[in-house]
Amino acid sequence: MSAIRVGTRASVLATTQSQLVADRIAESLGREVELVEISTEGDRSQAAGTPVASASSTGIFVNALRDALLDGRVDVAVHSLKDLPTYPADGITLAAIPPREDPRDAVVARNGLTLGELPVGSRVGTGSPRRAAQLHALGLGVEVSGVRGNVDTRIAKVRSGEYDAVVLARAGLARIGRLDEVTEVLDPLQMLPAPGQGALAVECRTDDDLAAQLREVLDDPRTRAAVEAERAVLATLEGGCSAPIGALADVVEGEDGEELWVRAIALSPDGGLSVRMSATGDPADAAGVGDRLATEMLADGAADLALPTNDSLDKVQNA
């Protein structure tokens, strides 16, 4: 039987994440598995120094992997789930969402400082309009600056003194063994993560029997419910990749069984205005819970906040 080919981006984080999935597939199915590196538009844009948030469409880290899946170069594609567009792709199934890593954002700052300990005027780097807006909203008096590059590049900018701190996803740092460099993990009350942050997406061709097998051995129902709710919030708010929108859902034990809790925020790019709401519901209706929450947010004014201005995109690039 031929090896299962797992498509991945070529970055250290992407290959590490894909190898975790590949190892689980090999262990669970008793099959040989190999990684196949695929270059994406997002990778090429970053290498050329092009601001990712100024790209013309969502999915720039995803489309090349999906093309490789559809034309048979790979059998499985592994993505950071927050990179997936919220609309479906013809011929492709989200076969599995493995258990999620901690979705919170993390700070890597000089001298072991937290955000609150940074002096006024400190330069804080982020590639995300969502993070930038929430940093502004905290009112700490720091200068928020766009930053590009991989994890090593961004942390090196702190070590060199170019930045006083950078904000990154804790999940990525955990997966590549860099948690010892984190100086603060941000409470979601301070900064809600991107929808799907910390989760992985395992995609297969819809007509491939492998999809059902991978769902059986890799999928985590609680993670899937949480992520479906978060992505429904994003889809209804029509945020796309560069929108300053955060969402976080959890499945918890309630008095009558499992309950889904969802929190979401939409902000103006400068963080001066925001709509923050929460909702609860049945995990079996995760998308419905997220959709209804976002609809309430739109009615409360989120429609005027969800999309950043062109000026804000020029200043801050999306991660």
Cα three-residue angle 296-297-302, rounded to 5 degrees? 145
Q: 256 phi and psi, to 5 degrees?
A: -115, 25
Strand order in the sheet with 200-205: 33-37, 4-8, 76-80, 200-205, 92-96
Tokens of 135: 């940093």
Q: Which of 43, 83, 105, 164 is catalytic?
A: 83
Residue whose token pair is 């489309």: 63
Residue whose token pair is 């090896």: 3
If you write DSSP's letter for every residue of 256-276 in order, what string do you get? Answer: TEEEEEEEEEEE-TTSSSEEE
- Reduce the DSSP state of residue 139 to 3 states and report it: coil
According to DSSP, residue 76 is labeled E
Q: Note if 83 is an active site residue.
A: yes
- Reduce the DSSP state of residue 3 to 3 states and report it: coil
- For the stretch 175-188, what's the b/e string if a residue is b when 16 or more beta carbons lie within 10 angstroms of its beta carbon? bbebeebbbbebeb
Instruction: Find all residues with CB under 8 Å of 264, minimum gap 6, and list them.
Output: 192, 230, 233, 245, 246, 247, 248, 276, 277, 278, 290, 293, 294, 297
209 burial (CB, 10 Å; 0-12 / 13-18 / 19+) is exposed
Q: How far is CA 185 from CA 59, 145, 173, 174, 198, in A?
A: 28, 20, 11, 12, 14
The catalytic residue positions are 83
